Amino acid sequence: MLRSLSGVFAALVILALGCGRVVNHPPDVSAGPIPSPKTVEPGGVVQLVFEVQDPDGDEMEYVWTQNPAEPAGHFSDSHSRTPTWTAPEGVKEPTHFLLQVNVMDSGGGGVLGTTPSVLVRVP
């Protein structure tokens, strides 16, 4: 009986240690994403402020998109942590855009961030 219990104890210790696997934590956003300014004319440039760290020190990948997708604005670098976004020229009426960033760390963790709406006004 004693031998059987020691086998169960060993199995529990292996399970508790997770068989050597390391738990990945998703990136942690401390600020943003925040657009500056929040109102622009067509063709106006918006700076995006975004502070994010990975608790595990993993490398992070960024992918920025806009919603609605049309008319299309332009990111200076859609894979940068803090790109600029140039408002589309083809805006026919005041339009609100949400600028979103999907952050993935090299361990498979991810987070989605969305700015407050950016208003592109028609002069």
26/53 Cα distance (integer angstroms): 9
Whether residue 55 is contained in a domain is answered as yes
pLDDT reported for residue 78: 95
CATH number, residue 92: 2.60.40.10
Whether residue 57 is contained in a domain is answered as yes
Whether residue 1 is contained in a domain is answered as no
Q: Which domain holds residue 39?
A: 26-120
pLDDT per position as a tens digit, 60-77: 999 999 999 999 999 999
pLDDT reported for residue 31: 85
The reported pTM is 0.77
pLDDT per position as a tens digit, 56-115: 888 999 999 999 999 999 999 999 999 999 999 989 899 999 999 999 998 888 888 888
Whether residue 31 is contained in a domain is answered as yes
Q: Give per-residue burial for 100-120: e unless 16+ CB within 10 Å, then b.
A: ebebbbebebebebebeebeb
Name 10's Cβ contacts closer than 8 Å, sequence gap at least 6.
Answer: none
Helices (H) and strands (E) in the chain, counts: 1, 9
85/77 Cα distance (integer angstroms): 9
Domain count, the chain: 1
CA atoms within 13 A of residue 64's CA, in its CB half-sphere: 26
Whether residue 45 is contained in a domain is answered as yes
